[in-house]
Amino acid sequence: MPVYQTFEMLQRQKAQLRDQVQLHSGIQLAAWFNSGDRVTNFSDHHTLSLYVAGGYDTWHKTAHGWRNGGAPDRFCLMPAGTESTWDLRADLAFVHLYCSETQLRQLAERVWDRSPAQLTLHEKIFSADDRITQLYRHFLLSCDWQQPASQVMLSSASTLLLTHLLQHYSDVQWQLPQVRGGLAPAVLRRVLDFIETHLDQPLTLAVLAQEAALSEFHFARMFRHTTGAAPHQFVMQRRMARAHALLARPDLTLTEIAFQCGFHSSAHFSHRFRQVYGMTPSACRRAQS
């Protein structure tokens, strides 16, 4: 797995790492908190940062002096090869997404089925974008990063974020390809069978797309067209349905059921189950008996 210089640099600063996960694609997410720190960053990879809380007294050094403009839901895009200096004079909670030039180019090739002659991201500081905020808050920040059951949601949201950056903050001005129609019946059966037999594993968008022999972009849209649900939503529905059925087996503990359905902690399993069924797994089991 790649090592990201910005991540390594922040670990040497006052910044506190709250959570982090590296996806199977190699993309890394990191949740940070920092305050009363001055940071200079230069890296060979891209960094997308969303301010989650605070940031009002965060300053960025420009050629014309220090500039302030941070706030919750503001984002900064720091392309590879750019240097930036920051003065964090008060509390800031933020989430970073790190990806390499190679990963971004490969994504562009998978989505558009062609390779850009040149791929340059545009630096953005203290900017606002409702789509980026939505993908962060509704997907990346709404799940437990350490749970295998969250992998398909994290990988899907990361792909959507990077595709959005390519469309709106790069020199690649291609329109998203039109995806018409859904999955062929045989392909759909193969994917659904794969999901059912691997619910205990950390399914990712890339793995499911590979099973369908499609790019992640095309698979996600064709799957939704066919089933009416995004891949991560469908997988979670199947995990919950499997869990509900397994609760009827008194020989299985709740922890064993959680593991069989792709959860590494019974607490996270219980939380998700209650969101869907309105009761805890224990209460559901008592109601079934």
pLDDT in tens, 178-188: 777 889 999 99
For 69-181, list the strands marked E by DSSP.
Answer: 74-78, 83-88, 92-99, 124-128
Neighbours of 43 (CB within 10 A): 21
Judged against a pLDDT cut of 80, whether residue 60 lies above it is answered with yes
| Residue for token pair 């590494």 | 264
Judged against a pLDDT cut of 70, whether residue 200 lies above it is answered with yes
Rounded to whole angstroms, how far apart are CA atoms 222 and 216?
A: 10
The pTM (predicted TM-score) of the whole model is 0.79
Q: Which residue has the higher pLDDT, 221 or 91?
A: 91
State mean pLDDT over 47-69.
97
- Supply the pLDDT for residue 177: 66
For the chain, list the strands marked E by DSSP.
Answer: 16-22, 28-34, 37-42, 46-54, 58-62, 65-68, 74-78, 83-88, 92-99, 124-128
Judged against a pLDDT cut of 90, whether residue 87 lies above it is answered with yes
Distance from chain centroid for Cα 274: 23
Mean pLDDT of the chain: 92
Residues 124, 84 contacting (CB under 8 angstroms)? no
User: For residue 77, which of 100, 90, 96, 58 has the smallest C-alpha distance?
Assistant: 96
Structural domains of the chain in order of their starting residue, each with its CATH number: 5-146+153-168 (2.60.120.10), 239-288 (1.10.10.60)
- Supply the pLDDT for residue 180: 77
- Supply the pLDDT for residue 19: 97
Give the bridge partners for 83, in sequence order.
42
Judged against a pLDDT cut of 90, whether residue 35 lies above it is answered with yes
